Structure 1
Amino acid sequence: MAALEEGFTLTAVPLGSGPDGPLGVEQSDKTDQFLVTDSGRTVILYKVSDQKPLGSWSVKQGQIITCPAVCNFQTGEYIVVHDNKVLRIWNNEDVNLDKVFKATLSAEVYRIHSIQGTEPLVLFKEGAIRGLEALLAEPQQKIETVISEEEVIKWTKFFMVFRHPVLIFITEKHGNYFAYVQKFNSRILSKYTLLLGQEEKSVTQSFSTSVHRKFISLMSLSSDGCVYETLIPVHPSDPEKNQRVVRSLLLKSVVSGNARSGVALTILDQDHVAVLGPPLSASKECLSIWNTKFQTLQTSKELPQGTSGQLWYHGENLFMLHGKFLTVIPYKCEVSSLAGALGKLKHSQDPDIHAMTHFVNWETSQGYGLGSQNSEQSKRILRRRKIEVSVQPEVPPSIQLLAAVQKDSEKHIEVELRKFLAVKRTPDFHTIIGDVVIGILGRYKAEPSFYPRNCLMQLIQTRVLSYSLCPGLMESALEKTDVQILQICLQQFPDIPESVTCACLKIFLSIGDDSLQETDINMESVSDYTATIQDGEIEQQTEILQNGFNPEEDNCENCAQELIEKPQAATEESTSCPVTGKRAALLENATMTLPGIHPPTLNQIMDWICLLLDANFTVVVMIPEAKRLLLSLYKFVKSQISICSELNKIEVSFRELQKLNQEKTNRELYSIEVLELF
């Protein structure tokens, strides 16, 4: 269970004089003290237990604080940035910020991070990172640009992984999101492209992150009101390569999808998240705690005065702007259990009844039948049992995944699969992927209702599968008429039998346009064509010049005039291509790396098609719909012949020039030659 306690106002004066509320709430070197940075000119140090300020500092008129103040835990000093480039450092004894240490930097700062156990880090707006000591030694040092043009940092977090500092920041460019992970023990900056999940079609509004043993869990709250999760490996297989990770749905409809502001997300522990925002379109804003393990709402608290969409979490306190005043709401989260998630966890109501302790006091264990003479022996037995438990080997993620495939739900299998894909690849990676697919297909044959499509998509996208490694995959997709999986398999599998290819072709030709419209299909194979998709159909763009051929420049005025004059031809002119864009993507994307010892060449395939056309030419000519096609083919062939003729002339001219160069002697020191090409 989770509970929100009664909150209290921390500040007696209004905050958020800027458009977005306070800049931040950061922990100081004292447990109960926090630095609150207003979006105007002021930094205030508060003691939460006393609900009163201990100190206040402001920059002078005309200056504005642009970065939340933090505490340097190594020195106990405070650090802030104003006007994007001016860094100030002070302590509790200082009164006027204008008289404290000042350093003007050469680039604009996005954020300063500081946590226990390491020096503060400075993240610049262009993505570069510097340690505070190195930056103060040379404030005007050149700061490199890490992110691309028009890429903007949206969110950042600093944490420790295995006692090593790691900084992650999220950027956005044209609606696409990227994650950068900087590990300072290896000085490696890894970049990840955050791919949208199949369910996600919205803009990300808030991020939060937590660290597990082998991966970083990045959660995001999107404008559709759902929470998505991305697993980023702590030890990537190829750290210097731009890798792609997929966001998957974690919690559905935690806030209203119509909320455009006032929403935030923060991770409280392994199984609980706090969400700020209206749960329904017509309701007021609320603070709620959700259990991610069982996907249940644990508790909520209405905020009638509204918020700024900012939520900070320190210790067991949640900080937010309620109205114009900073409010603190303490909370409690118990260990996640099914009974607690469902609100059925029983607690003793009788104050006189005390629950039996879970730990045995070995010094006073005589009442339990254990004398003092054997207490030491019992202690040794307990220690030995603890050692036996502690040395048990950890179950590898691959074994957990294979076991989950046999009996668990689709959601749990997807979680285990993301954990497995997040760790570093081993030499037997492709074999494990094949075993997982075979396990899923075996269970699908036994349970027809079991079809974990998202898992199959992720497994195929690893690009290590082939038809021979999982022969039942495409057959199952044919049974389900899953054209998206069939398309990806046709693009990636090099050893697909001809019978399976023909079966896929029949599916692609027979499936209805309505079903195709609702299916997510890769359209890259038709993206370069001179056709545009309008209302689900491909319409020819006659103004585009392709391969040196302009349809308007031809010598078939008579043929074209006849078609224009006929009413039937006018109807045909307005008729669009019967093949929709998505069906074209399924049919036109073919690979030329054909299997076999002597595969046919492209010219052989074209000759074979021409033979078929010649054999059925009379039938084609008799079809009324083919007249415009034949006219277009005639124009195209004529233009290509003209182009080839001109190329032949240029080739002959170059050959003559080559002969002239060979006949030249070295006796001439200087000459002028005029060459005319006809």
Structure 2
Amino acid sequence: MAVLCEEFTLCGLTASGGAGVGQALLGLEPGPDPDRVLLTDRGRMATLYQVSDQKPLGCWSVKQEQTITCPAVCHFETGEYIAVHDDKVLRIWKDEDVNLDKAFKATLAAEVYRIHSLPHTEPVVLFSRGAVRTLDVLLAAPQQEIENVISDEVIRWSEAFMETQQPILIFTTEKNGNYFLYLQKINPDSLYKYKLEQEESFHPLCFTAFTKNKVLTLLCLYSNGCVYKTVVSLQQNVQEEELILSKSLLLKTVVSDTVLKAASLAVLDKDHIAVLGCLDSPSNIAKGCLTIWNTKFQTLQTSKELPQGTSGQLWCYGEKFFLTHGKFLTVIIYKCETSSLAAAVGKLKATQPSGMRTVSSYVNWNMLQEEDLASPPPQQPVIAKNESKRTLRSRRNSVAKVQRDTLTVEQLLSDIKDSSEKDIEEELRQFLSNAQMSDFQATVGYVITGLVDRCKKEPTFYPQNCLVQLIQTQGLSYSLCPDLITVALEKTDVHLLQLCLQQFPDIPEAVICACLKAFLSINDDSLEGTNVNLDSVISYIDLAPNDQIEKQNETLQNGFNSELMEEDSCDIQLTQKPRAKETEELCPVGPQKAALLNAILHSAYSETFLLPHLKDLSAQQVILFLRYLHYLYMKYSEKVNMHLPCMFSPTINQIMDWMCLVLDAHFTVVVMLPEAKGLLFSLHKFVRAQVRFYSELNKIEGSLQELQRIKPQKDFGLYSIEMLELV
């Protein structure tokens, strides 16, 4: 089975880089690690993106009059990036390079079609006339003569593979409607040419290929929606003249006579392929569709419509689809399970009641024998006439006990619908302690969904202990039970909300802000005695004012000093003096609320999606949240290591990021509120003190570097003490 999971936007596409339907990107290649991709538009720019954070890490462009003509790739051995502009100019740069014009430059003797980068080997350069060179050989003599392998043919597609630890490059060409396949082995250098069998009245839209056991499998998607397979052996040593490769029909993706256009094909595993394409509609309305097919059983696994249209380009890296959807580059996460007959025809028995979602164990079809399929079901044993009723009753009781001890998920889901909270809690504890499930995550998701569904139907039903017990299994996520946090917010269950925020990695930004608003609205008195984990605050929140007074006499480190702040000048004038230090250093919220807010600060988010929801906070909530963030900031100023020694304690980067986000969302409100002036004044003085401190550190660093430069290095032996005098 194959499913489409989370979907998000990686970036917007500019007009010159593929905005809109029909305007394609030049290429998308994997970056130096699995979470990075290198995007090249049809213009002047190449950008490195962090996929999980949806943000660019670097952007490089050529001059105004130049154009990138070859997709940028990453050299996995050196960490460098390679691209070609104006067909012949090769550029190589690193992450720290800012100006691409100052990067390494080499002008080649022939036009480049594509560069393919493979792990553990040198990148391979394919020229437009069919010649192939490795990058190291090409850089040794950039102006070396490049032969013409093809004359009147045009390269349509190319790909590189590693087979028996040697790179192999293949590419297809077209000439007068005929298509050819070239297979180039790098070491030893050998080239093979084949002619592809043609399809009448239809033409190839895209190619893809994969290698296994020294066999190359080429897949071709035609405009009639048919996917054909061509197999080539990689062990041959003699080239035959004009060998025609026969093809076989692998899959038909379009049932009607509709013609495909702007399509792409990707191999996911040995039994699944993905097809992205647009139908040639007479109304000229661009509609795209992404589908995943099972080639083993000829079935459609899942599909997704793209109403904004697509350019037909599809890339697949690390169980993620990258495709153009309208004016955006979209990422869709997918999952593919091993194809089996059990997954294709269904694993549940026909006697199962309809409408019940269950998770049963996989059937091992390889263990079924032919005689097992032909033999009738076993009959129940006949009880001997002389067997007493007491023995029969004892046997029935023992069978019932075994059934209770081996509670199935079907029975548990059935009991959740009408049993009491106490009975459900006992059965759930027994089920989790005895169950040995291969698909544990999905099973827990079904159970908690059943509980949440009943909570929504019955307002008086709320099995908190069961919900907490399921969350603590660490097998859940927000996508498995999206209504759980909604129910917890309605019940104001802060303990459950804290667990969800600490353990769910995929909570949407709107839900995070809803939890933040709920935490800020709760009175500290009502939180006293609630079951909240205080591990994140217990080491830095002072509960008694006397502790604060004692801390006034301590020397503050990391550049912060109260006297320095008082001596610092500031343009902001207040009509009233700031409050006493012992009052300012008190935490503005109680320990329970502080622990809940720390869970918010630890949540994963995207600034683009979080900022609009932060504007829903009221002015009082904004001031309270900023005061707590300022309190945390002051606590960090007392620590040299810039890290609070607590589990789930927020980091300095998280504090600063959230403070900046809140100020951006409520800048006008904060500036206009009179009660915010003292807070802003304190922040202003603290920042200026930090700037002054780091300025002095920079001066010391510059002096030490200058001394190291002008003073020659001497060998003082194994041990020495040297005095440096700064004037």
TM-score, normalised to structure 2, is 0.47
> Structure 1 CA distance, aligned partners of 2:228 and 2:310?
23
Q: Number of matched residues? A: 356
> Structure 2 CA distance, aligned partners of 1:67 and 1:241?
32
Partner of 1:272: 272
Residue type of the alignment partner of 1:5: C
> Structure 2 CA distance, aligned partners of 1:237 and 1:243?
14
> Structure 1 CA distance, aligned partners of 2:316 and 2:163?
19
Partner of 1:331: 334
- 2:34 matches 1:22: no
Partner of 2:195: 193
Partner of 1:159: 161
Residue type of the alignment partner of 2:160: F
CA contact (8 A) 1:298 1:341 kept: no
Residue type of the alignment partner of 2:82: I
Residue type of the alignment partner of 1:83: D
- 2:12 matches 1:9: no
CA contact (8 A) 2:321 2:334 kept: yes
- Alpha carbons of 1:257 and 1:102: their partners in 2 closer, same or farther (altered >3 Å)? farther
Partner of 1:311: 314
Partner of 2:69: 66
Partner of 2:697: none
- 2:69 matches 1:57: no
CA contact (8 A) 2:258 2:279 kept: no
- Alpha carbons of 1:13 and 1:176: their partners in 2 closer, same or farther (altered >3 Å)? closer
Partner of 2:100: 97
> Structure 2 CA distance, aligned partners of 1:237 and 1:102?
38
> Structure 2 CA distance, aligned partners of 1:256 and 1:59?
46
Q: Let me know the Cα RMSD of the aligned residues.
A: 2.3
Partner of 1:356: 436
Residue number among 33, 36, 51 corresponding to 2:36 in the alignment = 33
**Structure 1 residue matching 2:180: 3-state secondary structure:** strand
Residue number among 347, 351, 357 corresponding to 2:359 in the alignment = 347
**Structure 2 residue matching 1:286: 3-state secondary structure:** strand
Residue type of the alignment partner of 1:158: A
Residue type of the alignment partner of 1:42: M
Partner of 1:134: 137
> Structure 1 CA distance, aligned partners of 2:293 and 2:96?
43
Residue number among 85, 89, 101 corresponding to 1:86 in the alignment = 89
Cα deviation per residue 1:414-454 (whole Å; 9 max; x = unaligned)? xxxxxxxxxxxxxxxxxxxxxxxxxxxxxxxxxxxxxxxxx
The equivalences for 1:547-562 within 5 A come to none
Residue type of the alignment partner of 2:181: A
CA contact (8 A) 1:224 1:256 kept: no
Partner of 2:124: 121
Deviation of residue 205 (structure 1)? 0.5
Deviation of residue 256 (structure 1)? 6.7
Deviation of residue 80 (structure 1)? 0.4
Partner of 1:246: 246
Residue type of the alignment partner of 1:331: Y
- Alpha carbons of 1:175 and 1:257: their partners in 2 closer, same or farther (altered >3 Å)? farther
> Structure 1 CA distance, aligned partners of 2:164 and 2:47?
33
Residue type of the alignment partner of 2:359: H
Work out the percentage of aligned pairs sharing the same amino acid.
Answer: 57
The equivalences for 1:457-606 within 5 A come to none
Deviation of residue 297 (structure 1)? 0.3
Partner of 2:181: 179
The equivalences for 1:598-637 within 5 A come to none
Q: What are structure 2's unaligned runs of at least 5 residues?
A: 349-357, 361-408, 414-427, 440-727
CA contact (8 A) 1:190 1:242 kept: no
**Structure 2 residue matching 1:133: 3-state secondary structure:** helix
Cα deviation per residue 1:58-83 (whole Å; 9 max; x = unaligned)? 11101111110000111100000011
**Structure 2 residue matching 1:106: 3-state secondary structure:** coil
Partner of 1:588: none
Deviation of residue 193 (structure 1)? 0.8
Deviation of residue 216 (structure 1)? 0.8
Residue type of the alignment partner of 1:98: D
Residue type of the alignment partner of 1:184: I
Partner of 1:602: none
> Structure 1 CA distance, aligned partners of 2:98 and 2:314?
29
**Structure 2 residue matching 1:305: 3-state secondary structure:** coil
CA contact (8 A) 1:217 1:229 kept: yes
> Structure 2 CA distance, aligned partners of 1:205 and 1:103?
34
Which shows bigger deviation, 38-47 or 258-267?
258-267
> Structure 1 CA distance, aligned partners of 2:67 and 2:50?
25
**Structure 2 residue matching 1:330: 3-state secondary structure:** strand
- Alpha carbons of 1:344 and 1:208: their partners in 2 closer, same or farther (altered >3 Å)? farther
- Alpha carbons of 1:332 and 1:279: their partners in 2 closer, same or farther (altered >3 Å)? farther
Q: What are structure 1's unaligned runs of at least 5 residues?
A: 360-678
> Structure 1 CA distance, aligned partners of 2:48 and 2:233?
37
Deviation of residue 248 (structure 1)? 1.3
- Alpha carbons of 1:23 and 1:34: their partners in 2 closer, same or farther (altered >3 Å)? same
- Alpha carbons of 1:333 and 1:120: their partners in 2 closer, same or farther (altered >3 Å)? same
Cα deviation per residue 1:66-119 (whole Å; 9 max; x = unaligned)? 110000111100000011001100001001111111111110000000011110
Residue type of the alignment partner of 1:133: D
> Structure 1 CA distance, aligned partners of 2:307 and 2:347?
29
Partner of 2:209: 209
> Structure 2 CA distance, aligned partners of 1:249 and 1:101?
47
> Structure 2 CA distance, aligned partners of 1:72 and 1:343?
45
**Structure 1 residue matching 2:11: 3-state secondary structure:** coil
Partner of 1:231: 231
> Structure 2 CA distance, aligned partners of 1:255 and 1:317?
27
Residue type of the alignment partner of 2:262: G
**Structure 2 residue matching 1:339: 3-state secondary structure:** helix
Partner of 2:287: 284
CA contact (8 A) 1:27 1:71 kept: yes
Residue type of the alignment partner of 1:247: K
CA contact (8 A) 1:15 1:326 kept: no
> Structure 2 CA distance, aligned partners of 1:260 and 1:288?
13
> Structure 1 CA distance, aligned partners of 2:142 and 2:255?
44
- Alpha carbons of 1:25 and 1:127: their partners in 2 closer, same or farther (altered >3 Å)? same
- Alpha carbons of 1:5 and 1:210: their partners in 2 closer, same or farther (altered >3 Å)? same
> Structure 2 CA distance, aligned partners of 1:91 and 1:310?
27
CA contact (8 A) 2:260 2:278 kept: no
Deviation of residue 255 (structure 1)? 7.7
Deviation of residue 238 (structure 1)? 2.5
CA contact (8 A) 1:256 1:279 kept: no
Residue type of the alignment partner of 1:229: K
Residue type of the alignment partner of 1:286: C
> Structure 2 CA distance, aligned partners of 1:210 and 1:146?
24
> Structure 2 CA distance, aligned partners of 1:155 and 1:54?
29
> Structure 1 CA distance, aligned partners of 2:325 and 2:296?
29
Deviation of residue 185 (structure 1)? 2.5
Deviation of residue 340 (structure 1)? 2.1
CA contact (8 A) 2:226 2:249 kept: yes
